[in-house]
Amino acid sequence: VSFGFEEVTESEKVARVKGVFRSVASRYDLMNDLMSAGVHRLWKHDAMNKLNPQPGERHLDVAGGTGELARAFLDLADKAGKRRGIDAKATAIVCDINDAMLEAGKARADNAKWNGRLDWVCADGQNLPYPDRSFDAVTVSFGIRNFADRVEGLKEFRRVLKPGGRLGVLEFSHMTAPALQAAYDTYSYNVIPRLGSLVAGDRESYQYLVESIRQFPDQETFRAEMENAGFSRVSVTNFSGGIAALHFGWAV
Ligand code: SAM
């Protein structure tokens, strides 16, 4: 499998990806804001609205990092419950392979507010420690491109989803206008590693992130991968001209 420009074994990729996120954990949210001028928050907001969280549901956020999506899920589910006078509380689990990311998230999350409804679990998204049909919704944002075997990951998400459960995958993707792709490539290859070096003191990790984005399949190819893994009616929503895309599908 590839890790940036290099070919490595699957276990080597897992170890190196861990190293990347251990290194960037403490500056992770700040770097996201700087790299995307804050726009990643809007993409995540739109993605969670599309997922349509409901009271009483169980949500798993794979590669959840600092837990932004899980908290959004609980917020939106509570709002939906309030509108309809339903008291049942949703619960969410942030699962990440990297304890440094989870610790950074825990330190920031208002855990008291969630009163045991928000859990943090260190596990590999390709091998989830949950029985079949455990969740109503699974999300992965900016995480699946780091998996050693993406297709295995998708199958695993389907396994833990209840029939009719939904999967939302938010990931960097490919620009829909080829002319813009050139400008975006220039930005990402030149500016992002430099920002990484300045803000997080780590140029190499950001170089890897840029390269892993370039290697991720385009919208239609990834849609087919989701369908092959057992998701139906997969829809694609492009954000900011395809810099990111949300793939949404139903587990059947
Ligand atoms: N979802 C968060 C967000 O959108 O801000 C974090 C995204 S961050 C770019 C990628 C995350 O994927 C990191 O926290 C990393 O530790 C995690 N990760 C990478 N490979 C993983 C795997 N195989 N299983 C679980 N998490 C993984």
Residue type present at position 209: L
In the chain, how many domains are there? 1
Please report the atom of ligand 1 found closest to the CA of residue 140: 1
**Nearest CA residue ID for atom 14, ligand 1:** 65
Q: What is the pLDDT along the chain (252 residues), one digit of tens a residue?
A: 888 778 889 888 888 888 887 877 777 777 777 777 778 899 999 999 999 999 999 999 999 998 999 999 999 999 999 999 999 999 999 999 999 989 988 888 777 788 899 999 999 999 999 999 999 999 999 999 999 999 999 999 999 999 999 999 999 999 998 888 888 888 888 888 888 888 878 888 888 888 888 889 999 999 999 999 999 999 999 999 998 999 999 999
Test site for ligand 1: of 13, 23, 97, most ligand atoms within 8 A of the Cβ: 97
With contact defined as beta carbons under 8 Å apart, do 50 and 168 qualify? yes
Residue 98 in contact with ligand 1 by CB distance below 6 A: yes
Query: How many CA atoms are closer than 13 Å to the CA of 248, on its beta-carbon side?
Result: 14
C-beta of 125 in contact with ligand 1 (< 6 A) = yes
Q: What is the pLDDT of residue 29?
A: 72
Q: Give distance in angstroms: CA of 65 to centre of ligand 1.
A: 5
Domain that holds residue 69: 2-251
Q: How many CB atoms lie within 10 A of CB 127?
A: 10
Distance 101 CA to ligand 1 centre (A): 8
Amino acid at 13: K
Neighbours of 178 (CB within 10 A): 8
**DSSP assigned state of 90:** P
Asked if residue 96 lies in contact with residue 65, where contact means CB atoms within 8 angstroms, the answer is yes
204: domain CATH number? 3.40.50.150
In contact, 94 and 122? CB cutoff 8 Å: no
